[in-house]
């Protein structure tokens, strides 16, 4: 018995060291940079300068929220109908949902540029029908579209997973007791699929609120999100690089996501997670 | 009702696949245009295979994915054994820290490591961002996923078998390799595959931690999207899509032929 615990202690030692150096120290450095100036003196200046970026935070939150809601509304019926199919068909459909996920999201986003462009496929089609072309790319709408397109599978999969776990007899029992379709959905299906919905929401919201690629490619630099600003502070031109303010923004983003996750988990009363990750 | 749901599903899947179809079609375009289709040709595929930058970054991506997955699997599996024997607050704290890179947005993980690397580099001359920092950052975000797939398998083990092996005179290390590892192989393999694909697919963390000398394929693709349009990206994407599709179909067929009981399992 003694030997076993010794082995176990030794086994986790490399990761403990690794985690300290490459997870804890970097986070500590982010906090340190967020509260110091370029010369290393303590300051609240970075944190207060964040107020300037308040509107960017709001736009990021707004677009990410809209995308998450659209994803949820689109995904639930799909997940539900797939969960009702025959076993064999189910796995084919789920494979079809996962296939685009396995492509790099840069490529997926890039593909939309071709379609949305001023001279792109949609506008050509509209003009062919005699209509007038309109601009779609470089708008907030295009950014939302890119987010929905990229993250929709992450909403479908966890909801599908919880729905398949609901016993048929539960629904039948509700129907036997006189519940109509709507109340079966409202009082049985929906409450039971909450864990899946929650993990779906986090899996869509977190990457959506922190993205900088989708806004760059489909927003054309007009839609500036919080991710774009952070990127600019770390990898921008020499004039704009400022690790301190960048670290402060990242810290706020991190805390923001932590808070929203805590709120989300509050809804998920039983701890069973419907997620696949 | 049936018809409505069929039409609805058709529309959603149409939405998911339309851009991919467009991309595949235009990868065979003989013209260098995003919208005019000039005729069928393999021109861009030929140019793709002559593009040294793309080919080099593809190899780098594969190399980093393989190395980081192997190292993360070894460290992560060992760590899982350690975590498995931990109890109470220590265990919860350990798992909480383990979850940081999983929960944090990629960009925060990326810049936090970048700050560390830049900090060290400015202190010691002669170092620079490159392959080493890239590999370290990939290992760091891979390990948690290995642990998350190995730990549940350890939980399902019967500890008596391991102790029995030791009672019969097997040294602990050997008992571990001969008794425990075979029983958790499935979790280890899942963890490895996840680490490999996550690493291959990663853009954000590589973008901040690779410097200019070690660009992975996604980083190269990103820099290509900023330059004038080149259908080479379409050709490359088509090839990647086809290889992923073939891989997924193969895995799915093997699963359905193998055992039907595990059908519900994703990944």
- Reported as a single tens digit per residue, the pLDDT across A162-178 is 999 998 888 889 889 98
Residue A121 is assigned to a structural domain of this protein: yes
Residues A72, A197: Cα–Cα separation, whole Å: 8
Predicted pLDDT at A3? 52
What is the chain A residue with the closest CA to B263? A91
Task: Give tens-digit pLDDT for A101-124.
Answer: 888 889 889 889 888 887 778 888
Predicted pLDDT at B1? 65
B172 near A CB under 8 A = yes
ipTM for this model: 0.88
Instruction: Determine whether the interchain pair B78/A235 forms a contact, defined as Cβ–Cβ distance below 8 Å.
Output: no
Q: Which two tokens stand for residue B242?
A: 């086809």
Instruction: Determine whether the interchain pair B225/A106 forms a contact, defined as Cβ–Cβ distance below 8 Å.
Output: yes
Predicted pLDDT at A65? 96
Residue A150 is assigned to a structural domain of this protein: yes
Whether the Cβ atoms of residue A209 and residue A60 lie closer than 8 Å to each other = yes
Q: What is the CATH number of the domain that holds A138?
A: 1.10.3720.10
Task: Give tens-digit pLDDT for B44-99.
Answer: 999 999 999 999 999 999 999 999 999 999 999 999 999 998 888 999 999 999 99
Domains contained in chain A, number? 1
List the single range of B18-27, B110-119, B141-150, B200-209 with lowest mean pLDDT.
B18-27
Residue A241 is assigned to a structural domain of this protein: yes
B249 near A CB under 8 A = yes
How many CB pairs below 8 A link A and B? Answer: 234
Give mean pLDDT, residues A116-137: 80
Closest CA to B55 of B196, B184, B235: B235
Q: Where are the alpha helices (DSSP H) in B104-158?
A: 106-123, 131-155
Predicted pLDDT at A268? 65
Residue A125 is assigned to a structural domain of this protein: yes
Give mean pLDDT, residues A214-241: 90
Give mean pLDDT, residues A76-81: 95
Mean residue pLDDT across chain B:
89
Which range is most confident: A211-225, B18-32, B105-119?
A: B105-119
Sorted by where each starts, the structural domains of chain B and their CATH numbers stand as 52-226 (1.10.3720.10)
Report residue B258's pLDDT band, with 50, 70 and 90 as the boundaries.
low
Predicted pLDDT at A269? 56
pLDDT at B133 over 80: yes
Residues B106, B130: Cα–Cα separation, whole Å: 19
Test mutation, A5, A14, A21, A22, chain B, max B CBs within 10 A: A22
Predicted pLDDT at A5? 59
Q: Is the dihedral of CA B223, B226, B229, B234 positive or negative?
A: positive
The answer, as to whether pTM is greater than 0.95, is: no
B17 near A CB under 8 A = yes
Residue A172 is assigned to a structural domain of this protein: yes
pLDDT at B263 over 70: no
Report residue A276's pLDDT band, with 50, 70 and 90 as the boundaries.
very low
List the single range of A58-67, A209-218, B117-126 with lowest mean pLDDT.
B117-126
B 183-242: CB under 8 A from A: 197, 201, 203-204, 207-208, 217-218, 221-222, 225, 233, 237, 240-241
Task: Tell me which residue range forms the domain holding A95.
Answer: 54-267
Give mean pLDDT, residues A55-79: 96
Give mean pLDDT, residues B193-207: 94
Predicted pLDDT at B126? 72
pLDDT at A270 over 70: no
Residue A9 is assigned to a structural domain of this protein: no
Closest CA to A75 of A20, A166, A187, A155: A155
A161 near B CB under 8 A = yes
Sequence-distant (6+) residues with CB within 8 A of B261 are none
Instruction: Determine whether the interchain pair B263/A246 forms a contact, defined as Cβ–Cβ distance below 8 Å.
Output: no
Q: Which chain B residues touch A110 with a CB distance below 8 Å? A: 23, 221, 225, 233, 237
Q: Which chain B residues touch A149 with a CB distance below 8 Å? A: 15-16, 19
Whether the Cβ atoms of residue A275 and residue A158 lie closer than 8 Å to each other = yes
Considering just the CA atoms, what is the radius of gyration of chain A in Å? 23
Percent of chain B at pLDDT exceeding 90: 60
What is the chain A residue with the closest CA to B235? A107
pLDDT at B237 over 80: yes
Residue B198's CB: how many other CB atoms inside 10 A?
A: 18
What is the chain B residue with the closest CA to A71? B12
Instruction: Determine whether the interchain pair A110/B108 forms a contact, defined as Cβ–Cβ distance below 8 Å.
Output: no
Report residue A4's pLDDT band, with 50, 70 and 90 as the boundaries.
low
Test mutation, A39, A67, A98, A102, chain B, max B CBs within 10 A: A102
Angle, nearest 10°, between helix axes B2-27 and A87-101?
Answer: 40
Q: Higher-confidence residue: B108 or B260?
A: B108
CA distance A247 to chain B (A): 8
Percent of chain A at pLDDT exceeding 90: 54
Residue A133 is assigned to a structural domain of this protein: yes
Give mean pLDDT, residues B141-149: 96
Q: Which chain A residues touch B222 with a CB distance below 8 Å? A: 106, 213
Instruction: Determine whether the interchain pair B115/A243 forms a contact, defined as Cβ–Cβ distance below 8 Å.
Output: yes
Report residue A1's pLDDT band, with 50, 70 and 90 as the boundaries.
very low
Task: Give tens-digit pLDDT for A147-165.
Answer: 999 999 999 999 999 999 9
pLDDT at A8 over 90: no
Q: Higher-confidence residue: B113 or A222?
A: B113
- DSSP class of residue B29 equals B
A 1-20: CB under 8 A from B: 1, 3-16, 18-19
Percent of chain A at pLDDT exceeding 70: 94
Instruction: Determine whether the interchain pair A99/B83 forms a contact, defined as Cβ–Cβ distance below 8 Å.
Output: no
Q: Which two tokens stand for residue A87?
A: 């076993």
Instruction: Determine whether the interchain pair A18/B17 forms a contact, defined as Cβ–Cβ distance below 8 Å.
Output: no
Please provide the distance, in angstroms rounded to a whole number, between the alpha carbons at the two ends of chain A: 34
Instruction: Determine whether the interchain pair A77/B118 forms a contact, defined as Cβ–Cβ distance below 8 Å.
Output: no
Sequence-distant (6+) residues with CB within 8 A of A256 are A57, A209
Give mean pLDDT, residues B8-29: 92
Report residue A137's pLDDT band, with 50, 70 and 90 as the boundaries.
confident
How far lies B128's CA from each of A57, A274, B13, B14, B134, in Å?
A: 33, 42, 45, 46, 11
Q: Which chain B residues touch A22 with a CB distance below 8 Å? A: 113, 116, 136-137, 140
Number of helices followed by number of strands (H, E) in chain A: 15, 0
pLDDT at B139 over 60: yes
Instruction: Determine whether the interchain pair A276/B267 forms a contact, defined as Cβ–Cβ distance below 8 Å.
Output: yes
Task: Give tens-digit pLDDT for A39-55.
Answer: 888 999 999 988 999 99
Report residue A181's pLDDT band, with 50, 70 and 90 as the boundaries.
confident
pLDDT at B217 over 70: yes
List the single range of A75-84, B31-40, B236-245 with lowest mean pLDDT.
B31-40
A76 near B CB under 8 A = no
Q: Higher-confidence residue: B139 or A263?
A: B139
């Amino acid at each position: 018995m003694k030997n076993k615990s010794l082995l176990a202690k030794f086994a986790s030692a490399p990761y403990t060291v690794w985690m300290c150096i490459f997870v804890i120290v970097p986070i500590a450095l982010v906090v340190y940079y967020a509260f110091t100036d370029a010369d290393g003196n303590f300051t609240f200046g970075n944190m207060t300068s964040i107020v300037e970026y308040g509107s960017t935070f709001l736009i990021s939150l707004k677009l990410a929220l809209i995308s998450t809601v659209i994803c949820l509304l689109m995904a639930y019926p799909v997940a539900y109908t797939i969960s009702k199919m025959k076993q064999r068909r189910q796995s084919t459909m789920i494979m079809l949902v996962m296939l685009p996920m396995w492509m790099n999201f840069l490529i997926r986003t890039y593909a939309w540029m071709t379609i949305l462009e001023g001279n792109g496929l949609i506008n050509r089609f509209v003009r062919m029908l005699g209509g007038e072309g309109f601009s779609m790319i470089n708008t907030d709408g295009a950014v939302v579209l890119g987010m929905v397109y990229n993250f929709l599978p992450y909403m479908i999969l966890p909801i599908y997973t919880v729905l398949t776990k609901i016993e048929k007899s539960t629904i039948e029992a509700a129907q036997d007791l006189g519940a109509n379709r709507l109340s079966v959905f409202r009082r049985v299906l929906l409450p039971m699929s909450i864990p899946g919905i929650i993990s779906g929401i986090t899996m869509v919201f977190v990457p959506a609120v922190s993205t900088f690629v989708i806004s760059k490619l489909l927003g054309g630099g007009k839609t500036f999100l919080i991710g774009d600003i952070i990127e600019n502070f770390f990898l921008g031109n020499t004039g704009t690089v400022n690790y301190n303010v960048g670290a402060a923004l990242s810290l706020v983003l991190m805390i923001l996501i932590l808070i929203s996750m805590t709120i989300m988990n509050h809804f998920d009363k039983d701890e069973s997670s419907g997620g696949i990750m | 009702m049936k018809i409505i749901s069929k039409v609805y599903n058709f529309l959603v899947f149409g939405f998911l696949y339309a851009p991919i179809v467009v991309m595949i079609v235009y990868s065979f375009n003989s013209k260098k245009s995003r919208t005019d289709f000039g005729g069928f040709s393999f021109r861009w595929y030929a140019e793709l295979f002559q593009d040294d930058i793309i080919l080099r970054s593809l190899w780098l991506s594969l190399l980093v994915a393989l190395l980081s997955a192997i190292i993360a699997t070894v460290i992560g599996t060992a760590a899982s054994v350690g975590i498995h024997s931990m109890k109470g607050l220590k265990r919860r704290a350990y798992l909480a820290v383990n979850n940081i890179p999983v929960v944090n947005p990629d960009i925060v993980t990326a810049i936090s490591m970048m700050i560390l690397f830049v900090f060290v580099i400015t202190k010691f001359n002669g170092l620079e961002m490159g392959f080493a920092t890239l590999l370290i950052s990939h290992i760091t975000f891979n390990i948690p996923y290995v642990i998350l797939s190995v730990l549940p398998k350890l939980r399902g083990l019967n500890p008596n078998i391991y102790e029995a092996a030791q009672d019969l005179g097997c040294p602990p290390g050997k008992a571990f390799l001969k008794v425990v590892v075979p029983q958790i192989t499935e979790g280890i393999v899942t963890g490895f595959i996840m680490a490999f694909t996550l690493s291959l697919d990663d853009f954000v963390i590589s973008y901040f931690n690779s410097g200019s000398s070690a660009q992975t394929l996604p980083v190269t693709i990103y820099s290509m999207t900023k330059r004038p349009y080149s259908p080479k990206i379409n050709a490359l994407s088509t090839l990647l899509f086809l290889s992923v599709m073939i891989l997924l179909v193969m895995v799915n067929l093997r699963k359905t032929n193998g055992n039907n009981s595990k059908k519900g399992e994703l990944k």
